[in-house]
Amino acid sequence: MTAASSIQNLNKPKDAFEQLEDEEGTRQGFCHIRIQQRTGRKTITTVQGIAPEYDLKKIVRYLKK
Q: Which sequence spans correspond to the domains of the chain?
A: 21-65
| DSSP 8-class letter at 49 | S
Per-residue pLDDT tens over the stretch 43-59: 888 878 888 888 878 87
According to the model, what pLDDT value does residue 28 have? 65
d(CA 4, CA 28): 30
Residue 12 has pLDDT above 80, yes or no: no
According to the model, what pLDDT value does residue 50 have? 82
Region of 45 on the Ramachandran plot (φ > 0 left; ψ -120 to 50 alpha; else beta):
beta
d(CA 38, CA 45): 11
According to the model, what pLDDT value does residue 4 have? 60
| DSSP 8-class letter at 50 | -
